[in-house]
Amino acid sequence: MTAQVSSQASGPIEAVAHEVLVEVRNHVGHLTLNRPAGLNALTLGMVRSLQQQLDTWALDPQIRAVVLRGAGDKAFCAGGDIRSLYDSHKQGDSLHQDFFVEEYALDLTIHHYRKPILALMDGFVLGGGMGLVQGADLRVVTERSRLGMPEVAIGYFPDVGGSYFLPRIPGELGIYLGVSGVQIRAADALYCGLADWYLESDKLDRFDERLDRLEWHDTPLKDLQGLLAKLGMQQLPAPPLADLRPAVDHFFALADVPSMVEQLRLVTVANSHEWALKTADLLETRSPLAMAVTLEMLRRGRLLSLEDCFALELHLDRQWFDRGDLIEGVRALLIDKDKNPRWNPPTLEALDKRHVASFFDGFDDHGN
């Protein structure tokens, strides 16, 4: 979902035209998320607009490929408009329920789309933004890219397919990213397989110019790959996660989050000591329940199909507004802004394994 919030109230569906810009140039459908003041956070209306346009272009033989981007230079998409979902729950209506059903359907559409989709992941790509891009055929990062699934910071869990793409990152890196909610930059995104290409942001205009003149052949995906290759793969610094990988693989394979924190605080090896303490401190600020459910969800997700992962996330969603920590997290960080969430339970030590397991009751490996 998100750890960001739009500064604008979401308008009626009919007013969404300006929030998703639609353009066709040289047989390419361009979709631009256009809420830069809110870091292009997704509303339900935007989800519906994107779905409708993708469905239309899927049947249009003139459209060879689709490009997704965000307006402005700060974010592709920093997630869903969590404030509107909070208000929906408080008011007792169904917007927050409809949002997840339709958002996940849109993400699945992108995963299965029969025409190549290229996502320009410039700036923040968080929560719901990751849901939009991880199903794309070509995921392009820049030096401004900041990728993450920071949901545990607001008492939620990494959804939008996070239960599928995070545990499929090599080793325990995806478990680390999901349980801690840390953000990564371009080099780590490529290392983790969460991005495919790197392009400096000052070359984005040149990319568009060449895309407008691209000569299409029988394989549009190869045509797009050739265009990206001609713009050059600049040399990036070594990914920080490569050096941390042995430590991450050890600590985030432990049985549960309390064990992770306990063992991280015992690290004395010089090159891991600072990271270990910083990570332990970070985990202790997150929702204990959200981290515990996230860990179980990601480990289950390793064995599930893409569709079943989305079904599992929806199963958790239907309980989370009433039984999880999301409402308190949004209150503390976005409503009252006291930044002092009263998590339930308040500490990792107070976690009840039976309570964590109860969120998965009624769900089997077929998503029922």
d(CA 247, CA 253): 10
> Could you say which of 29, 80, 123, 162 is catalytic?
80
172 is catalytic: no
Strands 117-121, 197-198: parallel, antiparallel or unpaired by DSSP? unpaired
Whether residue 345 has a cis bond before it, omega within 30° of 0: yes
> Could you say which of 151, 172, 308, 317 is catalytic?
151
80 is catalytic: yes
CB 142 within 8 A of CB 204: yes
Structure tokens at 203: 């070359």
> Could you say which of 107, 159, 308, 325 is catalytic?
159
Nearest CA among 216, 350, 330 for reference residue 289 = 350
At 333, the amino acid letter reads L
151 is catalytic: yes
* Other Cβ atoms closer than 10 A to 297: 25
At 121, the amino acid letter reads M
With vertex at residue 240, the alpha carbon angle to CA 234 and CA 246, rounded to the nearest 5 degrees, is 135
Structure tokens at 16: 């969404």
d(CA 20, CA 24): 13
324 is catalytic: no
Reduced to 3 states, what is the DSSP secondary structure of residue 44? helix
CB 288 within 8 A of CB 348: yes
> Could you say which of 38, 127, 128, 301 is catalytic?
128
End-to-end CA distance of the chain: 22
102-125 in b/e form (b: 16+ CB < 10 A) is ebbebbbbbbebebbbbbbbbbbb
Active-site amino acid positions: 80, 128, 151, 159
